[in-house]
Amino acid sequence: MKRFRQLRTDKKTRDKFAETSLRADDIIYPMFSVNGSRVKEEIPLFYGVNRYSPDMLAIEAGSALSRGINKILLFGTVADKVKNPAASFSASSAGPVPFTVKMVKKLFPEITVITDVCLCGYTDHGHCGFVRKGKVDNDATLPLLAAMAVAHADAGSDIVAPSAMMDGQVQAIRQALDKNGHHKVKILAYSAKYASNFYGPFRNAAKSSPAFGDRKTYQMDYRNAKQAMDEIKADIDEGADMVMVKPAMAYLDIISRAVKEFPKVPIAGYQVSGEYMMLKLAAKKGLMDEKEAFREALTAIKRAGAKYIITYYAKEAAVFLNT
């Protein structure tokens, strides 16, 4: 008989035989920015997550940095009155993202700033692309995404993260960045992004729910895994430096398969807003110990093979990393 229990006798022994460990360096902290100053707005049913004006967001990013979290992923949220069919404000240097990037970079140059590139927070209908005759028009969307990425790079973003799930978006963005002298700016592609039910709290935060229809014509069908590999391959061929699988917990098989098929490219797993709030609410009702539960969930993403983990628990996770 093999005595496996010898490996579990006490914490020290268990730690010695642990195959996976989380590090602060693996974690990316997603944050929501708005224009203005001294703004810190709570978001209903998205506990502990706020919308920040650039000054306040920089303070929060600095506080994460002091815990060892040195990467943030920025989303912009804007007022309904500046939203329009062409998402014009998405590429404006006066938008919340460029302002915030500048502020964070000025105060904490060592923070890696990643910016989400998608139109849904800037279109009046809430779809991720340009809509023509009631349909999202792929090719008409590409130049808009490219312009948005260039605006972020102009402000000092280190990495742009296209999440609109338009075909050819990585190539369009790479070409536009290069044309504008931003050779150093990298691309984290949301390559395998599923049309998921787990994005609810985020859509409240970004005020980006589609006004008609859903995102199933561009985000992936969750019945598919092989197709995710094709999406990832296409993005790598188009110039993605890193790729993402999203959501994470219900898609660990996709992460682990992607790691095997694309060993040279760093893979990020995104524990999305719904995954986060499920844990928060269950813990609030006393069904589980929150810290232990999110530690398990984040470790599972790492165990599946993700190099980077995007999580709203970033700051809280940093606290237990060395325990």
Backbone angles phi, psi at 231, to 5 degrees: -60, -45
Least distance (Å) between residue 20 CB and ligand PBG: 23
Of these, 22, 28, 57, 118, which contacts ligand PBG (CB under 6 A)? 118
Judging by DSSP bridges, how do beta strands 135-137 and 130-132 pair with one another? antiparallel
d(CA 283, CA 318): 19
Q: Is 163 in the site for ligand PBG (CB under 6 A)?
A: yes
Least distance (Å) between residue 162 CB and ligand PBG: 9
Q: For residues 261-280, which are near ligand PBG according to CB under 6 A?
A: 272-273
Of these, 27, 120, 159, 277, which contacts ligand PBG (CB under 6 A)? 120
Nearer to ligand PBG, 99 or 312 (CB): 312
- In the block, tokens 């944050």 appear at 31
Least distance (Å) between residue 128 CB and ligand PBG: 5
Least distance (Å) between residue 183 CB and ligand PBG: 26
| 246 a catalytic residue | yes
d(CA 4, CA 75): 46
**And the tokens for 187?**
């691309």
Backbone angles phi, psi at 126, to 5 degrees: 80, 5
Adjacent-strand bridge partners of 193: 246
Strand runs (DSSP E) across the chain, as ranges?
27-33, 40-42, 50-52, 71-76, 112-117, 130-132, 135-137, 159-162, 186-193, 242-246, 267-271, 308-311
Spot the catalytic one: 102, 105, 186, 246.
246
Among the candidate windows 82-90, 99-107, 114-122, 231-239, which touches ligand PBG by CB under 6 A? 114-122
Among the candidate windows 9-17, 115-123, 228-236, 250-258, which touches ligand PBG by CB under 6 A? 115-123
Q: For residues 182-211, which are near ligand PBG according to CB under 6 A?
A: 199, 202-203
Nearer to ligand PBG, 215 or 315 (CB): 215
Q: Are 50 and 41 in contact (CB under 8 A)?
A: yes
d(CA 87, CA 89): 6
Q: Is 243 in the site for ligand PBG (CB under 6 A)?
A: no
Contacts to ligand PBG by CB under 6 A = 116, 118, 120, 128, 163, 199, 202-203, 215, 272-273
Catalytic residue numbers, as ranges: 193, 246
